[in-house]
């Protein structure tokens, strides 16, 4: 397997072929299908995660409290995106984007099959594998989409990212329906095994279609020399040894709890973006124009972090609400709670072409990227105002209609389409050439930062995080921040320079 993987990645590129995919470079089809299957595996696992953690031991679950399970979910999701940054570094310094994606896909596949083993230790080891593999894959596959369009102001660029985004959501839509149903109604671990099969299909698709990718995707932009490799290996081994010793002492003295993992990871998820931005801004090899664009990008990062803090609660807070306070029957049809997580990708697939066509039709009248981001933040805030009302309607033992969550997911989808695909695009536009993959990793660190804030709030507040007050505070803060971003947008636009 290793030799065939190397041969597939080293094969000559034929990216100049005249074939196209919906008016876009042919390589977009390869990346579209690879991401579809990878997201099928990830969102299938995610649809089951909190439900499995909170299910009673007699029902095959781990019997955790909702607040603890929610914090684990938030920290785990944050870690997946946190590792996108070193994943970008591996591509920039060691393997190049193409090889890094292939290796990441193989690790993800192994992780899902470890979840399928009905042993608690194997389950958590599998989560680590998926997080590491996702970190290697996520930032680099998005970078390769951008590399299909050498001209950064190519009018097809935003549309290409939107089509790619449809692939993400196709996998995310099918996953809860297939994996969620099997996991909840047949066997939890069989559901996790299906996620592994999905990743295997995605990896096969990627290796078959590498010839259609841009030649630059196999290039290592700034490779490490031998001395740098030796120094980094030494540092990595020292940090690993320190972690093993520390957690060994905590465990053998009987003080270990899940908080010894959740708190350090949550704080790390906030510290790392700060460090990376500081390091990039201080790089003397960057021109003043590149540094100014990075400064402008920080504003987009902060807005995105607040957006993802709310948005990513679909797999935790909203899943608990669906399980405890929402009827799973509509118009005489019963369905598992995991199906609610198919609503958002369904809405994305329905509305993404509309948004893509709208951006193209508006042309020069297109709202600026800053305004689109503000719309996204306002929309996500409005969705939690609706959740506040839904939580109020679910007082006592009342089970509210599923239409409440349907409305919430619809509002969140329109907000997402204003911010997320545009965020991928603006990241590739503002990134210095030296940090192309690492800047895409920074974009995913916005998800990490948002999820870490959510995790800290859940650890501190506990079950109060599911209250009307919590939904109201988060919603109105996002609304106010979105309005402020519109007011100050001209300052950010000046920092973006020639990027529009």
- Transcribe 39-52 into DSSP letters: HHHHHHHHHHHHHH
**Stronger pLDDT, 43 or 212, i.e. the higher one:** 43
Q: Which of 109-113, 167-171, 264-268, 440-444 has the lowest average pLDDT?
A: 440-444
- Region 143-171: mean pLDDT is 78
| H helical segments located in 55-187 | 66-82, 84-90, 96-115, 120-147, 157-175, 181-185
Closest to 48 (Cα-Cα) out of 151, 227, 177: 177
pLDDT of residue 437: 67
pLDDT of residue 152: 65
Residue 131 contacts by C-beta under 8 Å, 6 or more apart in sequence? 76, 79, 80, 83, 111
Is the pLDDT assigned to residue 195 strictly greater than 90? yes
Q: What is the pLDDT of residue 7?
A: 34
Label residue 19 by pLDDT band (50, 70, 90).
low
Residue-wise pLDDT for 272-288, tens only, equals 888 888 988 888 888 88
What mean pLDDT is reported for the chain? 84
Kindly report the backbone phi and psi dihedral angles of residue 280, in degrees, each rounded to the nearest multiple of 5, phi listed first.
-65, -40
**Beta bridge pairs of residue 333:** 330
- 289 near 283, Cβ under 8 Å? no
Share of the chain above pLDDT 70, in %: 95
Phi, psi for residue 444 in degrees, rounded to 5:
-75, -25
Beta bridge partners of 334: 329
Task: Write the pLDDT tens digit of every residue in 359-393.
Answer: 778 777 778 888 899 999 999 999 999 999 998 88
In the structure, how many helices (H) and strands (E) does the chain have?
19, 4
**Residue 4 above 60 pLDDT?**
no
Whole-number pLDDT of residue 36: 92
- Rounded CA separation 159/249 (Å): 53
13 DSSP assignment:
P
What pLDDT score was predicted for residue 410? 95
Give the pLDDT confidence score for residue 420 in this predicted structure.
84
* Statement: residue 306 has pLDDT above 90: yes
pLDDT at 9 over 70: no
Q: Is the pLDDT of residue 17 over 70?
A: no
Contact 169, 352 (CB under 8 A): yes
Lowest mean pLDDT among 57-66, 207-216, 436-445: 436-445
Measured CA to CA, the distance from residue 485 to residue 373 in angstroms comes to 8
Task: Give the pLDDT confidence score for residue 1 in this predicted structure.
Answer: 38
Residue 60 confidence (pLDDT) above 80: yes
Q: Which of 171-175, 335-339, 463-467 has the lowest mean pLDDT?
A: 463-467
Instruction: Tell me the per-residue pLDDT of 200-240, one tens digit each, with 9 for 90 and over.
Output: 999 998 999 888 888 888 888 888 888 888 888 888 889 88
pLDDT at 103: 94
Is pLDDT larger for residue 32 or for residue 13? 32
Per-residue pLDDT at 12: 37
User: Distance (Å, rounded) from C-alpha 34 to C-alpha 21?
Assistant: 15
Nearest alpha-carbon partner for 131 in 172, 201, 76, 92: 76
What per-residue confidence (pLDDT) applies to 408? 95
Helix axes 96-115, 2-10, angle to 10 degrees: 150
Q: How far apart, in whole angstroms, are the C-alpha atoms of residue 465 and residue 455?
A: 10
Q: Which two tokens stand for residue 238?
A: 């020292």
pLDDT above 90: percentage of residues in the chain: 27
Q: How confident is the model at residue 479 (pLDDT cuts 50, 70, 90)?
A: very high
| pTM score over 0.85 | no
Cα(372)–Cα(421) distance, integer angstroms: 10
> What distance in Å separates the CA atoms of residue 294 and residue 40, rounded to the nearest whole number?
33
């Amino acid at each position: 397997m290793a030799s065939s993987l190397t041969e597939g990645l080293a094969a000559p590129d034929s990216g100049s072929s005249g074939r196209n995919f919906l008016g876009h470079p042919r390589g977009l089809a390869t990346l579209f299908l690879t991401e579809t299957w990878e997201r099928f595996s990830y969102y299938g696992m995610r649809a089951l995660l909190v439900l499995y953690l909170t299910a009673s031991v007699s029902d095959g679950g781990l019997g955790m409290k909702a607040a603890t399970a929610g914090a684990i979910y938030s920290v785990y999701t944050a870690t997946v995106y946190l590792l996108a940054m070193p994943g970008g570094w591996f591509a920039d310094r060691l393997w190049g984007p193409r090889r890094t994606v292939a290796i990441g896909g193989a690790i993800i596949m192994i992780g899902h099959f470890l979840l399928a083993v009905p042993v608690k230790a194997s389950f958590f080891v599998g989560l680590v594998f998926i997080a590491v593999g996702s970190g290697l894959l996520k930032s680099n596959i998005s970078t390769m989409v951008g590399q299909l369009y050498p001209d950064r102001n190519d009018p097809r660029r935003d549309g290409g990212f939107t089509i790619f985004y449809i692939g993400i959501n196709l996998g995310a839509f099918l996953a809860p329906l297939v994996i969620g149903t099997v996991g909840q109604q047949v066997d939890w671990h069989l559901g996790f095994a299906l996620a592994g099969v999905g990743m295997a299909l995605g990896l096969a698709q990627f290796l078959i279609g590498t010839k259609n990718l841009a030649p630059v995707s196999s290039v290592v932009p700034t490779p490490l020399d031998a001395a740098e490799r030796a120094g980094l290996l030494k540092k990595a081994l020292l940090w690993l040894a320190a972690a093993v010793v520390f957690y060994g002492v905590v465990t053998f003295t009987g003080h270990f709890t899940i908080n010894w993992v959740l708190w350090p990871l949550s704080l790390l998820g906030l510290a790392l973006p700060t460090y990376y931005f500081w390091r990039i801004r201080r790089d003397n090899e960057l021109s003043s124009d590149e540094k100014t664009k990075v400064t402008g990008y920080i504003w987009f990062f902060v807005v995105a972090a607040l957006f993802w803090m709310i948005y990513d609660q679909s797999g935790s807070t909203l899943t608990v609400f669906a399980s405890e306070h929402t009827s799973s029957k509509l118009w005489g049809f019963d369905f598992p709670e995991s199906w609610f997580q198919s609503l958002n990708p369904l809405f994305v697939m329905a509305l993404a072409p509309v948004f893509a066509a709208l951006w193209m039709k508006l042309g020069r009248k297109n709202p600026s990227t800053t305004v689109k981001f503000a719309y996204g933040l306002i929309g996500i805030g409005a969705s939690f105002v609706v959740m506040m009302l839904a939580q109020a309607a679910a007082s006592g033992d009342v089970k509210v209609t599923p239409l409440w969550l349907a409305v919430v997911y619809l509002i969140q989808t329109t907000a997402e389409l204003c911010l997320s695909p545009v965020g991928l695009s603006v990241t590739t536009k503002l990134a210095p050439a030296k940090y192309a993959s690492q800047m895409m990793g920074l974009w995913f660190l916005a998800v990490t930062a948002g999820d870490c804030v959510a995790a800290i709030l859940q650890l501190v507040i506990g079950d109060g995080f599911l209250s009307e007050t919590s939904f109201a505070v988060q919603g109105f803060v996002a609304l106010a921040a979105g309005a402020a971003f519109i007011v100050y947008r001209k300052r950010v636009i000046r920092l973006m320079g020639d990027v529009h």
